[in-house]
Amino acid sequence: PVPGWFAAMKSERERNLEACASEFIGTFFLVFTVGLNVLQRAALAPISVGCMLTAMLFATAGVGGAAHLNPAVTLGFMLGRECGVGTKQALMLVLGQILGGLGGSYMYAAVLGVTFTLQPGPGFTAKEAFAVEFLFSAVLVFVVLHVAPRWGKDISGQYFGLAIGAVVMAAAFAVGHVSGCSLNPALALGVMSSHWLHTGTGLYYAPLYLLAPLIGGCLASAAHRALQVGSTDCAVGSMDRGPNVDVQL
């Protein structure tokens, strides 16, 4: 017979791999959609991106995944939830997000034959771009921490994905011309690396787009903890409670 501790370890490994795979799929299609919209100069690109994000959140949460699709969100769950994401789980989630971001960016580059990078918009400085990336990343993670349903809860009647997608859509319309509105280190890494491979340039502002969302996530987690003193809610993104089970709350 298989020892109980071995079966439990295998189950945890399988859950982590499943979550990693779901993060890869969700982030892949998010970045792929962003790239196609940006490079084709779609007038309603924020709506397209917001809709894809919403769909991927529902899809990946529905199969027991974390539904983060963003390292800043994963960091927020690590720091801001009583039942947060453990270090090993977080590394698996971020791995899936990074691979998904790289895959999505290389795919739109292969389809269109061109790439782009992230940088402050015309007339704006790095300081201003950092400010909006930081602030809107903070509000994004703050909303996720507050609206994501509890781990193990049936999400069929939930609308959390709409709230999160709406934040990204609003941010893209508001500050897209200031910074490009990345708000996601996995997206930024994919976009910039594909451009670097294609042109040999485009990494100058990488620290800005990688660090601003993560710092914003830290602020959001602190705000969430301040507003949730005494709460022990565990969201879909919080994986420490074990396998997904149908719990009626």
Asked whether the beta carbons of 180 and 121 are under 8 A apart, the reply is yes
Torsion of the alpha carbons at 29, 33, 34 and 35, rounded to the nearest 10: 100
As to burial, measured by CB atoms within 10 angstroms (0-12 exposed, 13-18 middle, 19+ buried), residue 126 is middle
Query: Quick one: which of 203, 202, 136 has its CA closest to 172?
Result: 136
In 10 A of CB 51, how many CB atoms?
Answer: 16
As to burial, measured by CB atoms within 10 angstroms (0-12 exposed, 13-18 middle, 19+ buried), residue 227 is exposed
- Phi, psi (rounded to 5 degrees) for 240: -75, -10
Structure confidence at residue 49 (pLDDT):
97
Number of H helices, E strands in the chain: 8, 0
Structure confidence at residue 222 (pLDDT):
94
How far separated are the first and last CA of the chain, in Å rounded? 36
pTM: 0.87
In 10 A of CB 12, how many CB atoms?
Answer: 16
Distance from chain centroid for Cα 12: 22
Longest dimension (CA), the chain: 68
As to burial, measured by CB atoms within 10 angstroms (0-12 exposed, 13-18 middle, 19+ buried), residue 179 is buried
Successive 10-residue mean pLDDT values, the chain, 249 residues: 48 83 96 98 96 93 78 92 75 96 98 97 97 98 85 62 96 97 98 97 97 97 83 55 36
Structure confidence at residue 232 (pLDDT):
54
Structure confidence at residue 248 (pLDDT):
32
Structure confidence at residue 66 (pLDDT):
80
Q: What is the pLDDT of residues 88-117, one digit of tens each?
A: 889 999 999 999 999 999 999 999 999 999
